[in-house]
Amino acid sequence: MGGWFRKEIKTVNDLSGLKFRVGGVAGMVLSKLGVVPQQIPPGDIYPALEKGTIDAAEWIGPYDDEKLGFLKVAPYYYYPGWWEGCANGFLYINSAKWAELPKVYQSMVTTACAQAAGDLTAKYDARNAQAIKRLVAAGAQLRPFSTDILDAAYKATTELFAELSGKNGRFKKLYDSMIAFRNEQIQWDQVCEVTYDSYMVRRLRSS
């Protein structure tokens, strides 16, 4: 999700000077649009929103956000969280040490990681669907980011990644590989996933 806001955000101009609890690459991109990124520990987000020290906060998604009670102090819940299309976990292992492990141990670690990744996605898919209904019933105002905001964010992201690619060869290699994969996957998604999902949404809305 895109985060909880104390006021509606309708245009790119509304982002100017906005104090937003958001970090990482998202903060770097949004700063190009006038946002003032804030780094605040989880326990301090609610009081900061309540006091108006910050104007908005991004955390994770409905299931986790619900626990922190942001709805009480920032009723506008925006989507999509374009900076993180899907949450996932990562395990980093020294390649030399990894090579020393017996093949059966490597297989065990790989299998455990695959299980954890699948479990994470499945549980969030199920629990977020339930949590978003509870949040809306409790008064959360769901709002999509406008196309203008998404276009501006996309442009700023592309510019940032071009800048980083020009400074860091390793980043460029990873980024180029990721974009090539993404573009291919989007074509496939349009054939199957998007078509199916769009049809099912229409059916459910008409029933």
Q: Which are the contacts of 130, defined by CB distance < 8 A and separation ≥ 6?
A: 63
* Whole-number Å distance between alpha carbons of 158 and 6: 28
Largest pairwise CA distance in the chain: 58
Of the candidates 54, 53, 29, the one whose C-alpha atom is nearest the C-alpha of residue 149 is: 29
Write down all domains in the chain, each with its CATH number in brackets. Answer: 3-167 (3.40.190.10), 169-207 (no CATH)
* Whole-number Å distance between alpha carbons of 57 and 54: 8
- pLDDT attached to residue 85: 81
Q: Which are the contacts of 50, defined by CB distance < 8 A and separation ≥ 6?
A: 72, 73
* Whole-number Å distance between alpha carbons of 142 and 79: 8
Residue 163 sits at φ, ψ, to 5 deg, of -60, -45
Q: pLDDT, tens digit, for every residue of 95-111?
A: 999 999 999 999 999 99
> Is residue 174 within a helix (H) or strand (E), and if so which, with residue range?
helix 169-191
Q: Which are the contacts of 134, defined by CB distance < 8 A and separation ≥ 6?
A: 66
Q: pLDDT, tens digit, for every residue of 134-186?
A: 999 999 999 999 999 999 999 999 999 999 999 999 999 999 999 999 999 99
> Is residue 21 within a helix (H) or strand (E), and if so which, with residue range?
strand 19-21
- pLDDT attached to residue 89: 84
pTM of the model: 0.90
